[in-house]
């Protein structure tokens, strides 16, 4: 098992720079998730770690050793691909054995390793089947099994669940989390789905356009997004944003304008000036309708989505559309005029550069 | 009620399908079916070129394939294709040519395809360039090679002598030792691009990620080729080999231009052509053509069967 | 669209001769001819004269140089009743095989028949039908380099052994002087009809018969024939280049006319071409009868020659016959003799002083061709082509070292017996 360090890692394809000097520390046995929208460079970053792409600049250390110039096979990694990448003409057992045969491991040892991995993944009945005779979930297990038998220092997963249906994805998510615990291995996992990131990660790395936007634990990102992008990306349903401006500033307390002439006092932690344009961010679960703490904004319910256990109300407040999460049996209907209560303790403030400049006292803990 | 409607619908669909197929079936019957049947039929008659088209010939049964001729003096001999040493020689020539040239083309075609499959600058240009030998009509390229292989004026001898490989010019197309080799060289030169293209198409169907998986697993590229690429590209390879084998079995134009009338390169088709048009043995040439057709048909059937068995395991 | 157009064109072409026939105006006829040297150019010149006189048009359809190829194509065209070709230039040996497809010219040529050598007329007569008119006749010669023989002090060889010896000696001497491209002897060794002609001469001059005798007996497997082929085989790679195994007339002439051979066996047409301005051997060579075998019967030359037949599928038979008569006429034969050293078939032209002066080879050649050996096309009838192929294959195998002469000829005899079966 090993820790992974990236120091100023840069990747250029021709003239296009796709990874802009990433610094990252992944500790031993950590489950680290690279998340971001498509094209953010998360897969490229993983491939740099795997050695499938050459690192243009910077250093990659695995277990304290610089591995930039080592071929993938000698980096002590194993990778699970999005499309599983199983050899179509080989049985499960052959697929799992194929990479081992070269390592001069003797046959009985190989057999044992495969059997053990198959037991962990509960794929013993599939050992003699070929990929085309298996479901997506089964293939995914085989692909993971193939990684396990290599007994790597670091597991790399490239969007492994994105080809599965929703239900299977939830199930596999649990199993992967369990596997991480059982194997006690360092894992790097790439996904575009922030739910997967939130549910599995010890550490999330949010990437955008080849830059690391924020690194932290799931709740750290949820509670203290460093910028507007992370705030919008992490959390489901997504955070509401209200365009606003600073009316007054007094120490750490800023007065910001709300719709309909209302205003609210919020805490800022970085300097803002009177008249600055800011964005207020507040999550749907922190808004309430018709009664609650904080300031009020008037609006009308445009759409209501009832999920049974919860209800999403889309409320038009002037130019802003706010989404409010209510309980399942919310009596409010589409077309109702409502007041939206915004609790200043729950609010995030972002400046014109989209950087977080303030947040409610709720997040102090 | 519902089933009646469905079957009516099916019936009308089937009827429409036949209607649309009909023109093509008629054309096929006229341009492929009729000539084939007539050739087979002529093979059982004594038709010559002069008599074939006015139906002035007789049915002779299997005589063209096997017939005992009594010389009237107590001696006699077996005649017919099955006992004709020239024909048997032609069959062996053809098989030898097919096996050697298709094997070479497969190996070289695979090498070329693997090269073209790699990413590098100018790949598109190279892909086009490599197709040129295939695009040149056989007669033209055969004439071209005939000149290049010419013993007095040919560039091949000139180069080899310049390099000191040979001391006197070799009569490539005339010498029995080299005639078949010359034909094979030209055929390989001409059809390797075709082979490469078919294999390349097969290679491009292969998923790229398994190669990355193999790379991560540290499998040696040679092992990847034999254990992964080759098994996976085999269906495409088989199709290409069948195509080429069928083509080679009926080789005519190249031999006819390059080494005409040469016993070492007389193929089944050349034999058939000679009998049909030069020896006034239309019946015998037809029988040879029929035999050639049978050989090809059997090869296709066994290839398909064999291929399926192997593909389905 | 294109197809529709060409179909229309085809219909028009098909219809127009009928329309014109009624008007009896100028017709268009086609003559098909193989060619060596400048044959086609000479033919065109003569056709131009005919066109001017008659007002008709004559087109040449040219063919590949291999007579074997020509024959195959002609047979196919004739079997299909092709009306596009009116006049065929046919080899002396083809008459029996193609007779059914040609018009009987006996009546049309009644006046001129007595002028030609009777043997040639006879060779073109099948079952009393004159299949083709003689165009020119052919008998091969031994071409030799007068300058080289003189330089090295050799006489013109009378026997094959002398030829072998002389060729080797001059070749070695010339090579020693730095002419590394020179060879002693070139002939037609490619596996085709021409090799049958060459080999027939070797065998016959050694007293080995003429493959199949006039009575149908297969005579080719004899000790004399074995000796003849062994001699020829000994030339390959010594005095003759190995490539001679793929040479036809024009290949041999190519080597000869660039000055790279001491001796050549070829037809008279090469005489005037060798004296052309572009020839490296102009004025440096002469011709002699082919050598004799050791203790054999004397020199043997294969009878060649080309004749003109009129297709019975011609849509303008009268015009086509007129063309054939013109091309076989004294005027044209003289023109050809003067310009292409072609041997006339009209007896009187051998005494023509003009020809004697311009092409001295021709009067010299009268006796040679009169004694020329016919190929066994008469006794073997329709099987001749196959007989010839079996023969040239056996010879080619022997020349190229693929089996001994004795084995190959024994094998040939077996194959010819098979071919003959109960009778030719």
- Count of structural domains within chain A: 2
Chains in contact with A via at least 3 Cβ–Cβ pairs below 8 Å: B
Chain A, nearest residue to B220 by Cα: A102
Q: Counting Cβ atoms within 10 Å, is residue B246 exposed (0-12), middle (13-18) or buried (19+)?
A: middle
Whether residues B106 and B173 share a domain: the answer is yes
pLDDT score, position A293: 84
Domain end, chosen from A233, A259, A283, is at A233
The reply to whether ipTM tops 0.95 is: no
CA angle A71, A77, A78 (to 5 degrees): 110
Interatomic CA distance for residues A335 and A202, integer angstroms:
43
Task: For residue C136, count other CB atoms closer than 10 A to its CB.
Answer: 27
Whether residues A194 and A142 share a domain: the answer is yes
Phi, psi of A320 (to 5 degrees): -95, 145
- Pairing state of beta strands A186-191 and A31-35? parallel
Taking only residues 178 to 217 of chain C, the set having a beta carbon closer than 8 angstroms to any beta carbon of chain B reads: 181, 189-192
Q: Is residue B268 part of a domain?
A: yes
- Interface residue C19 vs chain B (CB under 8 A): no
Are the C-beta atoms of residues A22 and A50 closer than 8 Å to each other? Answer: no
pLDDT in tens, C368-401: 888 888 899 888 888 898 899 899 999 999 998 8
Find, among A306, C22, C90, C186, the residue nearest to C105 by Cα: C90
Interatomic CA distance for residues B190 and B196, integer angstroms:
11
Whether residues A86 and A151 share a domain: the answer is yes
Verify whether the Cβ–Cβ distance C75 to B85 is below 8 Å: no
pLDDT score, position A228: 95
pLDDT score, position A69: 93
Q: Tell me A55's DSSP state.
A: -
- Count of structural domains within chain B: 2
For testing the chain B interface, which of A46, A52, A77, A110 should be mutated: the one with the most B CBs within 10 Å?
A52
Interatomic CA distance for residues A349 and A1, integer angstroms:
41
Q: What is the mean pLDDT of residues A14-35?
A: 93
- Interface residue A77 vs chain B (CB under 8 A): yes
Side-chain half-sphere exposure of C185, counting CA atoms within 13 A = 29
Side-chain half-sphere exposure of C325, counting CA atoms within 13 A = 18
Interatomic CA distance for residues B158 and B150, integer angstroms:
10
The CATH number for B223's domain is 1.10.3720.10
- Interface residue B52 vs chain C (CB under 8 A): yes
List of chain A residues whose C-beta atoms are within 8 Å of the C-beta of residue B209: 81-85
Q: What is the mean pLDDT of residues B130-139?
A: 90
pLDDT score, position A300: 94
Structural domain of residue B103, as residue ranges? 85-279
Nearest to B171 among C242, C254, C392 (CB): C242
Nearest to C97 among B168, B274, B280 (CB): B280
Whether residues B199 and B107 share a domain: the answer is yes
Domain end, chosen from A190, A210, A233, is at A233
Q: What is the mean pLDDT of residues A31-43?
A: 93
Lowest mean pLDDT among B29-38, B70-79, B186-195, B293-302: B70-79
The CA–CA distances, whole Å, from B239 to A254, B246, B308, C23, C215 equal 76, 11, 12, 61, 57
Q: What is the mean pLDDT of residues B51-64?
A: 85
Whether residues B110 and B182 share a domain: the answer is yes
Average pLDDT, chain A: 91
- Interface residue B80 vs chain C (CB under 8 A): no
pLDDT in tens, A166-188: 888 898 898 898 889 888 889 99
Q: Counting Cβ atoms within 10 Å, is residue C164 exposed (0-12), middle (13-18) or buried (19+)?
A: buried
pLDDT score, position B308: 61
Distance from CA of A317 to the nearest CA of B (A): 49
Q: Give percent of chain A above pLDDT 90.
A: 66
Q: Which residue has the higher pLDDT, A232 or B311?
A: A232
Whether residues B193 and B128 share a domain: the answer is yes
Whether residues B144 and B269 share a domain: the answer is yes
Whether residues B12 and B99 share a domain: the answer is no
Structural domain of residue A294, as residue ranges? 240-364
Average pLDDT, chain B: 87
Whether residues B194 and B247 share a domain: the answer is yes
A11 token code pair: 């990747």
Q: Give percent of chain B above pLDDT 70.
A: 95
pLDDT in tens, A190-204: 999 999 999 999 999
pLDDT score, position A348: 94
Verify whether the Cβ–Cβ distance B85 to C386 is below 8 Å: no
pLDDT score, position C1: 38
Interface residues on B facing A, Cβ-Cβ cutoff 8 A: 207, 209-210, 212-220, 223, 227-228, 231-232
Whether residues A171 and A304 share a domain: the answer is no
Whether residues A223 and A251 share a domain: the answer is no
Task: For residue B238, count other CB atoms closer than 10 A to its CB.
Answer: 18
Q: What is the mean pLDDT of residues C142-151?
A: 95
Run of H or E including A31:
strand A31-35
Chain C, nearest residue to B149 by Cα: C243
Chains in contact with C via at least 3 Cβ–Cβ pairs below 8 Å: B
Domains and CATH numbers, chain C: 24-139+304-370 (3.40.190.10), 141-302+376-420 (3.40.190.10)
Average pLDDT, chain C: 88
Whether residues B129 and B194 share a domain: the answer is yes
Q: Is residue B312 part of a domain?
A: no
- State the SS3 of chain B: CHHHHHHHHHHHHHHHHHHHHHHHHHHHHHHHHHHHHHHHHHCCECCCHHHHCCCCCCECCCCCCCEEEECCCCCEEEECHHHCHHHHHHHHHHHHHHHHHHHHHHHHHHHHHHHHHCCCCCHHHHHHHHCHHHHCCHHHHHHHHHHHCCCCCCHHHHHHHHCCCCCCCCCCCCCCCCHHHHHHHHHHHHHHHHHHHHHHHHHHHCCCHHHHHHHHHCCCHHHHHHHHHHHHHHHHHHHHHHHHHHHHHCCCHHHHHHCCCCCCCCCHHHHHHHHHHHCCCHHHHHHHHHHHHHHHHHHHHHHHHHHHHHHHC
Identify the band that residue C80 occupies on the pLDDT scale cut at 50, 70 and 90. Answer: confident
Verify whether the Cβ–Cβ distance C75 to B278 is below 8 Å: yes
Q: What is the pTM of this model?
A: 0.79
- Interface residue B72 vs chain C (CB under 8 A): yes
Q: Which residue has the higher pLDDT, B289 or B3?
A: B289
Q: What is the mean pLDDT of residues A158-162?
A: 91
Q: What is the mean pLDDT of residues A345-350?
A: 92
- Interface residue A110 vs chain B (CB under 8 A): no
The CATH number for A336's domain is 2.40.50.140
Identify the band that residue B5 occupies on the pLDDT scale cut at 50, 70 and 90. Answer: low
Q: Is residue B159 part of a domain?
A: yes
pLDDT in tens, A282-310: 999 999 998 888 888 899 999 999 999 99
pLDDT score, position A186: 94
Domain end, chosen from A201, A233, A265, is at A233
Highest mean pLDDT among A200-209, B155-164, B202-211: A200-209
Q: What is the mean pLDDT of residues C82-92?
A: 94
- Interface residue C64 vs chain B (CB under 8 A): no
Identify the band that residue A43 occupies on the pLDDT scale cut at 50, 70 and 90. Answer: very high
- Interface residue B41 vs chain C (CB under 8 A): no
Distance from CA of C225 to the nearest CA of B (A): 21
For testing the chain B interface, which of C171, C242, C403 should be mutated: the one with the most B CBs within 10 Å?
C242
pLDDT in tens, A60-71: 999 999 999 999
Whether residues A15 and A127 share a domain: the answer is yes
Identify the band that residue C4 occupies on the pLDDT scale cut at 50, 70 and 90. Answer: very low
Chain B, nearest residue to A143 by Cα: B213
Whether residues B165 and B20 share a domain: the answer is no
Interatomic CA distance for residues A87 and A134, integer angstroms:
13
Q: Tell me A33's DSSP state.
A: E
The pLDDT of residue B2 is above 60: no
The pLDDT of residue B51 is above 90: no
Whether residues A266 and A298 share a domain: the answer is yes
The CATH number for A203's domain is 3.40.50.300
Whether residues A200 and A311 share a domain: the answer is no
The arrangement of strands across the sheet holding A57-62 comes to A16-26, A4-13, A57-62, A65-66
Nearest to A150 among B217, B227, B232 (CB): B217
Whether residues B267 and B146 share a domain: the answer is yes
Whether residues A163 and A23 share a domain: the answer is yes
- Interface residue A139 vs chain B (CB under 8 A): no
Chain A, nearest residue to B208 by Cα: A85
pLDDT in tens, C161-212: 999 999 999 999 999 998 888 999 999 998 889 999 999 999 999 998 899 9
Verify whether the Cβ–Cβ distance B219 to A99 is below 8 Å: yes
pLDDT in tens, A116-155: 999 988 899 999 999 999 998 899 999 999 999 988 999 9
Whether residues A55 and A178 share a domain: the answer is yes
Interatomic CA distance for residues B247 and C270, integer angstroms:
41
Whether residues B160 and B92 share a domain: the answer is yes
Verify whether the Cβ–Cβ distance B49 to C79 is below 8 Å: yes
Distance from CA of A96 to the nearest CA of B (A): 10
Which residues partner with A294 through β-bridges?
A: none
Give me the total of CB pairs closer than 8 Å, taking one residue from chain A and one from chain B.
63
């Amino acid at each position: 098992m090993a820790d992974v360090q990236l120091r100023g890692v840069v990747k250029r394809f021709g003239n296009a720079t796709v990874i802009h000097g990433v610094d990252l520390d992944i500790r031993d046995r950590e489950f680290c998730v690279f998340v971001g929208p498509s094209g953010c460079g998360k897969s490229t970053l993983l491939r740099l770690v795997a050695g499938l792409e050459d690192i243009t600049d910077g250093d990659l250390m695995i277990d304290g050793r610089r591995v930039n110039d080592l071929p993938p096979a000698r980096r002590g990694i194993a990778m699970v691909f999005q499309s599983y990448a199983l050899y179509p003409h080989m049985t499960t057992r052959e697929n799992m054995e194929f990479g081992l045969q070269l390592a001069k491991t003797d046959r009985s040892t190989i057999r044992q390793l495969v059997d053990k991995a198959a037991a962990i993944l509960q794929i013993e009945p599939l050992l003699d089947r070929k990929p085309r005779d298996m479901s997506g979930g089964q293939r995914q297990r085989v692909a993971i099994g193939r990684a396990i038998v290599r007994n790597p220092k670091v597991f790399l997963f490239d969007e492994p669940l994105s080809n599965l249906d929703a239900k299977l994805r939830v199930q596999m998510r649990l199993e992967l989390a369990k596997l991480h615990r059982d194997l006690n291995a360092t894992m790097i996992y790439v996904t575009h789905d922030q739910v997967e990131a939130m549910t599995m990660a010890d550490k999330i790395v949010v990437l955008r356009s080849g830059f690391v936007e924020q690194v932290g634990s799931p709740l750290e990102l949820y509670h203290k997004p460093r910028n507007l992008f992370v705030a919008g990306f992490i959390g489901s349903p997504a955070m509401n944003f209200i365009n606003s401006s600073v009316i007054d500033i007094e120490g750490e307390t800023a007065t910001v304008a709300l719709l309909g002439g209302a205003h609210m006092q919020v805490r800022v932690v970085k300097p803002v000036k009177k008249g600055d344009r800011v964005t207020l961010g507040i999550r749907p679960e922190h808004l309430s309708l018709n009664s609650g703490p904080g300031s009020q904004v008037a609006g009308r319910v445009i759409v209501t989505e009832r999920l049974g256990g919860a209800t999403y109300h889309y409320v038009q407040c002037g130019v802003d559309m706010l989404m409010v999460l209510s309980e399942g049996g919310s009596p409010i209907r589409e077309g109702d005029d409502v007041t939206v209560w915004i609790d200043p303790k729950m609010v995030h403030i972002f400046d014109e550069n989209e950087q977080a400049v303030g947040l409610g006292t709720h997040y102090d803990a | 009620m519902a089933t009646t409607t469905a079957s009516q619908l099916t019936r009308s669909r089937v009827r429409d399908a036949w209607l649309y197929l009909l023109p093509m079936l008629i054309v096929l019957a006229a341009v492929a079916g009729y000539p084939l049947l007539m050739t087979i039929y002529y093979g059982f008659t004594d038709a010559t070129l002069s008599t074939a088209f006015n139906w002035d010939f007789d049915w002779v049964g299997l005589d063209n394939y096997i017939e005992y001729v009594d010389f009237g003096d107590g001696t006699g001999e077996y005649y017919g294709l099955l006992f004709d040493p020239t024909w048997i020689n032609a069959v062996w020539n053809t098989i030898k040519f097919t096996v050697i040239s298709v094997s070479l083309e497969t190996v070289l075609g695979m090498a070329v395809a693997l090269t073209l499959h790699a990413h590098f600058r100018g790949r598109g240009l190279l892909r086009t360039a490599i197709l040129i030998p295939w695009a040149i009509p056989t007669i033209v390229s055969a004439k071209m090679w005939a000149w290049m292989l010419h013993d007095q004026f040919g560039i091949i001898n000139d180069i080899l002598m310049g390099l000191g490989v040979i001391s006197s010019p070799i009569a490539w197309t005339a010498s029995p030792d080299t005639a078949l080799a010359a034909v094979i060289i030209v055929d390989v030169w001409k059809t390797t691009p075709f082979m490469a293209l078919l294999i390349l198409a097969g290679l491009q169907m292969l998923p790229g990620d398994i190669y990355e998986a193999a790379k991560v697993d540290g499998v040696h590229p040679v092992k990847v080729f034999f254990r992964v690429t080759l098994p996976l590209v085999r269906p495409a390879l088989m199709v290409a080999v069948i195509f080429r084998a069928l083509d080679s079995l009926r080789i005519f134009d190249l031999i006819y231009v390059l080494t005409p009338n040469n016993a070492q390169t007389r193929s089944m088709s050349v034999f058939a052509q000679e009998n049909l048009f030069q020896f006034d043995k239309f019946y015998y040439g037809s029988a040879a053509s029929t035999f050639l057709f049978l050989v090809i048909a059997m090869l296709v059937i066994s290839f398909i069967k064999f291929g399926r068995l192997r593909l389905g395991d | 669209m294109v197809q529709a157009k060409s179909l229309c064109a085809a219909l028009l072409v098909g219809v127009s001769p009928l329309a014109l026939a009624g008007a009896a105006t100028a017709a268009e006829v086609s003559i098909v001819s193989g060619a060596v040297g400048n044959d086609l150019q000479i033919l065109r010149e003569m056709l131009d004269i005919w066109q001017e006189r008659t007002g008709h048009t004559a087109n040449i359809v040219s063919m590949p140089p291999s007579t074997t190829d020509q024959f195959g194509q002609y047979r196919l065209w004739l079997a299909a009743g092709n009306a596009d070709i009116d006049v065929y230039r046919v080899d002396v040996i083809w008459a029996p095989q193609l007779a059914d497809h040609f018009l009987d010219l006996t009546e049309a040529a009644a006046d001129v028949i007595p002028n030609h050598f009777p043997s040639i007329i006879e060779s073109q007569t099948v079952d009393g039908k004159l299949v083709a008119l003689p165009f020119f006749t052919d008998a091969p010669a031994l071409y030799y380099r007068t300058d080289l023989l003189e330089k090295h002090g050799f006489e013109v060889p009378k026997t094959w052994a002398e030829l072998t010896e002389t060729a080797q000696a001059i070749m070695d001497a010339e090579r020693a002087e730095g002419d590394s491209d020179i060879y002693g002897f070139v002939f037609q060794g490619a596996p085709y009809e021409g090799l049958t002609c060459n080999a027939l001469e070797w065998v016959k001059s050694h007293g080995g018969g003429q493959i199949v005798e006039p009575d149908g007996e297969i005579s080719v497997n004899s000790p004399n024939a074995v000796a003849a082929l062994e001699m020829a085989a000994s030339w390959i790679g010594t005095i003759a280049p190995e490539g001679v195994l793929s040479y036809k007339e024009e290949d041999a002439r190519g080597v000869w006319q660039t000055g790279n051979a001491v001796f050549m066996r070829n037809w008279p047409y090469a005489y005037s071409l060798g004296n052309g301005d572009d020839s490296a051997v102009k004025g440096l060579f002469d011709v002699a009868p082919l050598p004799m075998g050791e203790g054999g019967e004397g020199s043997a030359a294969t009878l060649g020659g080309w004749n003109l037949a009129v297709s019975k599928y011609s849509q303008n038979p009268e015009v086509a016959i007129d063309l054939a008569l013109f091309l076989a006429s004294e005027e044209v034969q003289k023109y050809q003799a003067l310009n292409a050293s072609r041997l006339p078939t009209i007896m009187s032209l051998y005494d023509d002083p003009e020809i004697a002066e311009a092409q001295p080879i021709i009067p010299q050649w009268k006796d040679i061709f009169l004694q020329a050996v016919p190929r066994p096309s008469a006794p073997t009838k329709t099987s001749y082509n196959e007989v010839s192929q079996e023969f040239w294959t056996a010879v080619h195998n022997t020349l190229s070292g693929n089996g001994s002469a004795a084995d190959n000829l024994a094998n040939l005899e077996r194959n010819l017996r098979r071919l003959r079966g109960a009778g030719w």
